[in-house]
């Protein structure tokens, strides 16, 4: 009888140790899940920051568009001025005419340069948008998969802990029954 009682006591202690270990694992899994949520929040914040950067680039593109229009208007005005002056004073203003043509050429080159910059900014903006969207979707997918794995593992460990609690309860009842039997035997 004593051996059975000792064996049941050892089994009870083993089950209690195993439950304590499982509870510790559950806490670690909860911590990992909190860490994953924090990383997801950080990625969302970074994505918002990148969105702000994109909006800032779009503002710069708008400013370049306005500057381009102003330069184009200025170029158009200068061209009209050159043509008007050539009609009235072609001989007297030939040197000035050449300078204005040079200025017109410079402005056209500047307009072309600004158009190139504008196109480059637009391309970079679109590229950044696509890259950020892809990175965000990949990160989100990975985090969701990781959370699903953690949730499944947590659920499995919870079921194990519940099963062990049930076994421990049954074992305690067995021990109590054995103790009652021993007391009755001793009293007889």
Provide the residue range defining the domain that includes 64.
Answer: 2-187
- Above 70 in pLDDT, residue 28? yes
- Domains identified in the chain, total number: 1
Asked whether the predicted pLDDT for residue 185 surpasses 70, the reply is yes
pTM of the model: 0.32
Residue 45 has pLDDT above 90, yes or no: yes
Q: What is the mean pLDDT of residues 39-61?
A: 91
- 7 pLDDT tier (thresholds 50, 70, 90): confident
Contact, 71 vs 107, CB < 8 A? yes
User: Residue 122 maps to which CATH number?
Assistant: 1.10.287
Predicted confidence at residue 104, as pLDDT, reads 92
Whether the pLDDT of residue 92 is over 70: the answer is no
54 CB-near residues (< 8 Å, 6+ apart): 125, 128, 129, 132
């Amino acid at each position: 009888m004593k051996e059975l009682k000792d064996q049941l006591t050892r089994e009870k202690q083993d089950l209690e140790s195993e439950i304590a270990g499982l509870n510790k694992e559950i806490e670690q899994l909860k911590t990992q899940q909190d860490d994953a949520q924090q990383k997801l929040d950080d990625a969302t914040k970074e994505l918002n920051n990148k969105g702000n950067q994109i909006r800032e680039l779009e503002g710069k593109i708008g400013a370049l568009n306005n500057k381009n229009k102003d330069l184009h208007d200025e170029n158009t005005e200068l061209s009209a001025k050159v043509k008007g002056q050539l009609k009235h004073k072609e001989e007297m203003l030939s040197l000035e005419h050449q300078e204005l043509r040079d200025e017109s050429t410079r402005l056209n080159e500047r307009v072309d340069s600004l158009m190139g910059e504008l196109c480059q900014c637009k391309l970079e903006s679109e590229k950044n948008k696509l890259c950020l969207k892809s990175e965000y979707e990949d990160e989100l997918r990975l985090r969701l998969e990781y959370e699903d794995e953690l949730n499944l593992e947590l659920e499995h460990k919870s079921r194990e802990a519940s099963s062990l609690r049930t076994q421990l309860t049954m074992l305690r009842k067995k021990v109590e029954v054995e103790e009652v039997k021993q007391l009755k035997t001793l009293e007889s």
